[in-house]
Amino acid sequence: MSVDTVSMTGWGRTAPTTALRFRPRTYEEAVAAVRGCGPRGSIARGLGRAYGDAAQNAGGSVLDMTALNRIRGTDAAGSTVTCDAGVSLHRLMRAVLPLGRFPPVTPTTRYVTVGGAIASDVHGRNQRVAGSFSRHVQALELLTADGDVRTVRPGTALFDATAGGMGLTGVILSATIRLRPVATSLMSVTTERATDLDDLMARLTASGHRSSYTAAWIDLLARGRSTGRAVLTRGEHAPLDALPAHARRTPLVFRPARLPAVPAYVPEGLLGRTSVALLNGLRYRAAPRHRTGELQRISSFFHAMDGVPHWNRVYGRSGFVQYQFVVGNGQEETLRRIVGRISLRRCPAFHAVLGRFGESDPGWLSFPMPGWSLTLGLPAALPGLAGFLDELDEEVAAAGGRVCLAKDARLRPETLAAMYPRLAEFRALRAELDPGGAFRSDLSRRLAL
C-alpha cells in the first residue's frame, strides 16, 4: 500500500488541505489503514469529483480507493453487477454496455466511483422516474470504525445513513447494483427552446412527457423578458430500429470523444460576465427551436464535460464554486425570485441546469426532494459571491429546500440543520457507530456533521 503526503482539493479547486494518502489495493489493506489512522481520522476518496471538501481530511488520512477496482461479475441474466467501490462509472459502462446494460443513474460525469456515487447518493437527469443511485443498490459492504466489514442492505438505518452519508459512516468496499437494459449505446434526443422562465417551467411541468432523462440548460445572464430562457433536452435510450442501417451491426459500441486537456495555468477571469454572456447567447441561438429523434452518443448526452480533461482549470487559480439547490413543488415563487436575483446580479454562470425531481430517496442526507432543482457554477473569485450565496441559502431554507452536500464548499453549519431534518438522527448514529471519530472529513468538520 503506497503512502504519501499530498495537498488535495475538490473538483472546484478551492480550500486545499494536506493529508496522508493511503492507496489500499485489498480490503485487508483498507482495514489496516482505517485501524491505523491517527486522531484526525480518515475518509475515503474516489476520483475527486466532489466539488467541495467532502473527500479531504486536513491533517488526517485519506483512503484513495481507486486501486480497489475489480468488477466481480454480473448475475446470470446480467441484471445486477457486483464490483469494488473504486470502479468508476466509466469503467462500469465499458464493461456492461456490450451486455446491453447501463448504470441505472449517472451524474454529469462518468468519472465517479461506485463508492462515491453511493456516499453522495448522486442523481441524474432521470431522478424523477428512477430516483437516485442508492435506490438501485441491492447490498454493499461497509468497513466501519471498529474494523469490521458489514453487509448492509436497503431498509436498514445503516444503509439510509450511508446512502448520501458522505463517507462518514464508513468506507464502502463493494456494492451490488441493479442495471437497466438498453438496446443501443445511443440516445434519441428531443431538443426545444423555452423563451423565458415561465415557458420553461410550463414545458418541464407538462404531463405526457414521461421521458427518462430531462434537463434544461438555462441562460442566467439573459435579462428582461428573456430572463430564464433555456434549451430543454429530453432523451431516451434509442431502440435498435431507430439506428441507421450501418450502425445496427454494432449497436452497443461505446466510444467517447476526448479533446485536449485544459492547460495547468489559465488566467483568472476568463469566464467573466462579458464572455459568458456572449457564449450563452451563442449557445441559445445555436440550439434548434424544436427537433426530435436526434441520435447522440451516451457520452455526449450525459457527460459532455468529460470530453475535456481537467475542465475545472478554466476558472483559473481561485477555482469555482458549484451551487445546487432544490425547492419543493409549490415553491415556484422562490425559484423565480432566485433566478431573478442571479440574472439581475449578472453572475457569470456558464453552465446552469434546471431540472425537476420526483420522490425523495430514503437516505437521511440524500439531496433530492420532489420539486425544482437549479445547479450553477461560479468563479470563486467573484467579489461578494460569499455573501450572495449565503442570502440564497436563506431563501432556499425558508422555502423548505436544501443545497447539495456533494457540491458544497461553503454552507454555514447553522443553515444545514434547517435543510436536512434527519441530521440529528445521522449524528446520533455516527456517535454510536464511531464514537472515536475514525471517519472525518473537512466537510464534516466545517458543518459539524
Applying CB under 8 A, the residues found at the interface with another protein are: 7, 12, 14-19, 40, 52-53, 57-60, 317-319, 321, 380-381, 385-387, 409-410, 412, 442, 445-446
Strand partners, 357: 371
Closer Cβ to another protein, 41 or 86, answer by number: 41
CB of 118 to another protein, least distance (A): 24
Instruction: Classify residue 163 as exposed, middle or buried by CB count within 10 Å of its CB (0-12, 13-18, 19+).
Output: buried
Nearer to another protein, 66 or 318 (CB): 318
Q: Nearest 5°: phi and psi at 295? A: -95, 130
Q: Min. distance of Cβ 446 from another protein in angstroms?
A: 4
Shorter beta-carbon distance to another protein: residue 57 or 226: 57
CB of 62 to another protein, least distance (A): 10
**Of residues 235 and 319, the one with the C-beta less far from another protein:** 319
Q: Which is nearer to another protein, 41 or 124 (CB)?
A: 41
Q: Phi-psi bin for 61: left (phi > 0), alpha (psi -120 to 50), beta?
A: beta
Beta carbon of residue 19, minimum distance to another protein (angstroms, whole number): 6
In one-letter notation, the amino acid at residue 209 is H
* Nearest Cα to Cα of residue 213 among 103, 327, 98, 100: 103
Least distance in Å: CB of 425 to another protein?
23
Residue 330's CB is within 10 A of a number of other CB atoms, namely 12
234 residue type, one letter: R
> Please, what is the minimum distance in Å from the beta carbon of residue 323 to another protein?
10
H/E element, 335:
helix 332-344
Q: Which of 31, 26, 50 is nearest to 42 (CA)?
A: 31
DSSP state of 60: S
Q: How far apart are CA 365 and CA 157, in angstroms?
A: 12
Written as nine digits, the cell of 17 is 488541505
Q: How far is the CB of 448 from another protein (least distance, A)?
A: 10
Give the nearer residue to another protein in terms of CB position, either 55 or 85.
Answer: 55
Q: How far is the CB of 220 from another protein (least distance, A)?
A: 19
| Residue placing its CB nearer to another protein in the complex, 61 or 184 | 61
Smaller CB separation from another protein, 386 or 424: 386
Helical residues (DSSP H) of 230-381, grouped into ranges: 273-286, 298-302, 332-344
Cell reading at 306: 468529460
The C-alpha atoms of residue 257 and residue 306 are separated, in whole angstroms, by 9
Distance separating alpha carbons of residues 193 and 200, to the nearest angstrom: 8
